[in-house]
Each structure stands twice: as structure tokens, then as C-alpha cells.
Structure 1
Amino acid sequence: MTELPLLLLHAFPLDARMWDPVRAPLAERLRVITPDQRGFGRSPLPETGREPGLADAARDVLALLDKLGLDRVVLGGCSMGGYLAMAVLRLAPERIGGLVLIDTKATPDTPEAAQNRLDLADRAEAEGVTGWLAGQSVPGLLADTASAELAGHVRDLIDAQPPSGVAWAARAMRNRPDSRELLRQADIPALVLVGEHDGITPLDAANTMVEALPDPTLTVIPDAGHLTPLEAPASVTEAILGWYPIS
């Protein structure tokens, strides 16, 4: 009996450095893989000529598994990373031995949210992202109790992202399908984590996923907002290790 590796997919508009507070403590027991998604951090944005869609980013994840020689992993994601995890599940359910869905949701965008993503993508391409995107995003990403130091760190991560990657991801998320039926068919253990004060994907969104999943575990992270791995890393680490499936 062995524990599968854990592959974690980051939130928008950040990169894999958002996992830094949990990576080391998780790695004491698990093999942990934290890639930058296409267009973020150190990962380039491929030119495909296709309309942005998370299926392409999901193929990146599968190509990484192939490169690392991994048949199956436990796949986790925060926010956009959760959407991408569900896109991978849609393409290759046989590669996933468990799901960790952190501050995310299975439902598609409302028309208003979809338009907001288009507006964000257009502005990122026209102006870059420095300053305005962090100023627009950080208040919703973190709980009111978050420290000024953490807020500054998140701003720095956002300011560092390539505008082209931000725009591509915003358009790709806008196009994502409803994943509730997908989760109903996911015959694997799943951990759903949500920050107590998450205003973007709140407890209702987490409960919707729990109701759909055949084998769910729900954990509410106290005193945290939408970025629980950064806001409450010890609680997130404890929840993952306490739940982790054995293959």
C-alpha cells in the first residue's frame, strides 16, 4: 500500500508560489508537485490558435504526468486550480486517485461573471496587470483578518504574472462547463476545503460539490478567505494529511 503523489494547481491570478506555505510540511509525508500553469510564473503560454479553454491546460497536466512517469495522482486545486482539476478529471479520470477541491466551485459562470472575465482579459492585454489587477483582486481573495504582510505578498505575486497568461486564463475560465454531473460520476475520495470567510466561492458552493460527490469530506477552514493555503497553511496541511487516501 502506497500513497499517491499529490499534484496541486494554483489559483488565479497567482502562480505555484502560493503553495509555498504548505509544500514543505506536506512533502514530509507525500511527494508534492506544484507546477505553474500555462501562461503563469515560469510556464510559457503556447500559441494554439484556438479559443482559450481549460481542456488545453488539462492536457498540459496530463503531459506533465507522462513526463514524470506517473500513472495516477491525487489532484488538487485552489479556485482556478479546482476548475482545472475538474477539466483533467473530464479528460482522464483513470489518472486521478483522489480530488482536493479548495475554495472552488463546480458551477459555470453567470452571464455577469463571464462578462467581467472578458473585460479583465481585454484590460490585461491593453494595460498590463501591474497595480490595478492586484488592487481589484486582493480584497476579495483574503479575509479581512489577513495581515498587511500577506496582502502585500499576494499583490506581488499578482503583479509578477504575464498579462497574456492572465488574459488567456480569464477567457478559459469563462468558457468552462458545469461540472456537477462530472463530480457525481467521480468514484474516488474527495476532500472539499473552504475558507470560513470565502466570499468568492463560499460554503454554499462547497456544499454543492459535496452533494454531488459520491465520497466527499468537507472541511471549513476557520478565519480564512479564498486563499486558504496562504491564509491558514497549518489547517490546510492538517486537513489534507488527515484525509489522504492510500492506493
Structure 2
Amino acid sequence: MAIIPDHPAQGRVTGDGAELAFGHWPGQGPAVVALHGLTASHVNFAGIAERLAGRRPLLAFDLRGRGRSDKHGPYGMAQHARDTAAAMVSFGLGESVVVGHSMGAYVAVALAAMYPQRVGGLVLIDGGVPVPAPPVPVEQLLAPQLARLHQTFPDTESYLDFWRALPVFPEASWDGPGRRWVEAYLRYDLGGEPPALRPRASADAVRADLVDSLAPEVLRERLAGLSVPVLLLRAEHGFLPGQPGLIPDASAAAELVKDFTDRLLPGTTHYTIAMDEPGATTVADAVVEFARRCDRLKEHG
């Protein structure tokens, strides 16, 4: 049965002192839990959910401070992990495969370290591992995306035009299947009423989480303590096509994690690895295969 990418079942669930919005795409077997990036929402996974095609259910949350979740603090990777663990309890989930994209990958690592009984395996999409310092501050690399949090837009089309003018999504992303996924994500991203629509992500949350996700020693300690399989899916390019990848190699993580697999996805950027082709299909197939492996490991103790 085809999955409608921009119409998952949606609702709200109690986290750790905050209400979290979620999207759920149906499928067979145990649900995969998905955690999005710095300024994103659960709709970031629309393309991956469609390409899963019901082979696994996908349950994705709006992290605190994003989307339609509560906006009050505290923030940070540990707090997002507490929220996610509480939400998983509400859904009655046991050991689950957890997928994190970008900052969501760092939240996934914190979740596995703090609540090992909730996590059966991690799929880290272009994040979650130590990365070399960029040539310029991250805030500068993400300047247009972060600036939008302080802007208002008269209507949805103006917001889509704002993104079309950025080089983040190549022209092909607006013509192929990725267009539906990107537009669904951007339409969900806006809150308020015309003519003063505003992105839903809290600037305070983004600022706090950006600093926290880059704390190297805490990350290394969490990775070293993991006892579950970890699959890293790296984008070939950085934020923009042609830029060096954000994770040029995974040697630092491989030295820390006992059961670690590294895979580079050619032709993808940090964004298109989740929200366009060939990224969405490749990630979905990898998640299904990895989840089956985790199921087998659980069966054999």
C-alpha cells in the first residue's frame, strides 16, 4: 500500500515535561523512531517514509522547540533524549531502531547512552559522530537557514520562493519526487497567520542545541559506552552540492563504537540524503536491512 508522504497520522504526546508533536506512517513490524535536525520537524522524514513503503512503521517526533511541539526549555541533547524516552514509553515501545538525521543523530546517541533499554540500534544520518571543525563557524555556514527564524512571510508561496532562491536544494529537487517532500516539509514549517507567517522553530532552542551538539568530550563518552549496533550513513557533499562532506571519514567513531558500520552515499548532500533521491530510497532500504539485523540480534539474545 502506498504511503502518502505529506499526510502521516499526526498528534501530540507527553515528553519529559513538554508536549511533543509527532507523525506516524504505518507499516509492518516494530516501529522505527526518527529524530530530525537542528531547525527541522518530523516531516523531514516524509521521503524516507514513502520509500519505506510500509515495510516498517515510522514514528517521528518534533523535538522540543520545533514544529508543533512545546517551545519552552530546557534544551540540549540530554533533554531531547529524556523527551523521546518518555514519548516512547507513552507509545509502549521497547527496544527500537532509532534514526537520527543531523542534530537528531546526536540526540539518538544521547538516547542510547542514557536509556539503553529503549534502543536496539542506531542509524545516524550525516551526524552523531565527531566531526572536524569547519573552515568557518557553523553559524556562518547556516546563516540563511538561521536568519529565516527571525523573518516573517506574507504567504506560503513566498516562503517556498525564499527556499528556491537558496542553493540548499538543487534545481532537480524542485522537479522530481523530492519536490513533494520538500514542499510538504516547508508548508508544515510555517506557523501563525498571513501576512505574518513565521518558521515554527524557536531561535533560542536552535542556539542552545547548536552549542550542545558540538560538545566533543561528552559525545565521545556516549559513543564509547554504546552496546548496540550503529550504522552511519554519510552524505558525499556538505550543506551544498560540491562542498566537502561534513564527515570526511568515520575513523574517530569507528575507534569508539564496538559494532560500527560506515557507509558513504554518493550524490547526496546533508539535506538531500533525507529529502530527495537517491538519498531517501537508499536510506529507507538501509534502515529496513539494519532493522532486520537488529531483530535477529534481539532474538538470539
Shared fold, TM over 0.5? yes
Identity %, equivalent residues: 25
TM-score normalized by the length of structure 1: 0.78
- Residue 172 (structure 1) aligns with: 209
TM-score normalized by the length of structure 2: 0.66
Q: Deviations over 1:3-35 (max 9, x none)?
A: 643101112322111211121342522232111
Matching residue's letter, 1:7: V
Contact 1:103–1:206 (Cα < 8 Å) also in 2: no
Q: Deviations over 1:79-120 (max 9, x none)?
A: 011111122123212211100000114237959637659989
Residues 1:71 and 2:90 aligned together: no
1:1-247 equivalent positions in 2, closer than 5 A: 4-26=30-52, 28-45=54-71, 47-48=72-73, 50=74, 52-107=75-130, 113=137, 127=151, 139-140=167-168, 142=169, 144=170, 146-149=172-175, 150=178, 153=183, 156=186, 160=190, 162=199, 165-176=202-213, 177-178=215-216, 179-198=219-238, 199=243, 202-204=246-248, 206-227=250-271, 228-231=273-276, 232-244=279-291, 245-246=294-295, 247=298
Question: Which structure exhibits the higher relative contact order, with contacts defined as CA atoms closer than 8 Å and separated by 6 or more residues?
Answer: 1
Q: CA deviation at 1:214?
A: 1.1
Contact 1:104–1:201 (Cα < 8 Å) also in 2: no
Higher Cα Rg: structure 1 or 2?
2
In the superposition, relative to structure 1, how do residues 171 and 139 fare at CA in structure 2: closer, same or farther (>3 Å)? farther
Q: Which moved more, 1:114-123 or 1:177-186?
A: 114-123
Matching residue's letter, 1:90: A
Find the aligned partners of 2:189 and 2:57 in 1 and give their Cα distance. Answer: 29
Q: Deviations over 1:135-154 (max 9, x none)?
A: 699535x4x57433457638
**Cα RMSD over matched residues?**
3.6
Higher strand share: 2
Q: CA deviation at 1:158?
A: 8.6
Three-state SS of the structure 1 residue aligned to 2:34 is strand
Matching residue's letter, 2:127: T
Find the aligned partners of 1:22 and 1:200 in 2 and give their Cα distance. Answer: 24
Find the aligned partners of 1:54 and 1:89 in 2 and give their Cα distance. Answer: 11
Find the aligned partners of 1:96 and 1:11 in 2 and give their Cα distance. Answer: 19
Q: Which moved more, 1:182-191 or 1:25-34?
A: 25-34
Contact 1:121–1:168 (Cα < 8 Å) also in 2: no
Q: Deviations over 1:195-231 (max 9, x none)?
A: 2223475342544323422111222212111121212
Contact 1:10–1:78 (Cα < 8 Å) also in 2: yes
Q: CA deviation at 1:73?
A: 1.0
Find the aligned partners of 2:172 and 2:65 in 1 and give their Cα distance. Answer: 28
Q: Deviations over 1:53-95 (max 9, x none)?
A: 2222211101111100112211110001111112212321221
Consecutive unaligned residues in structure 2, runs of 5 or more: 1-27, 192-198
Consecutive unaligned residues in structure 1, runs of 5 or more: none
Three-state SS of the structure 1 residue aligned to 2:121 is strand
Matching residue's letter, 1:139: P
Three-state SS of the structure 1 residue aligned to 2:61 is coil
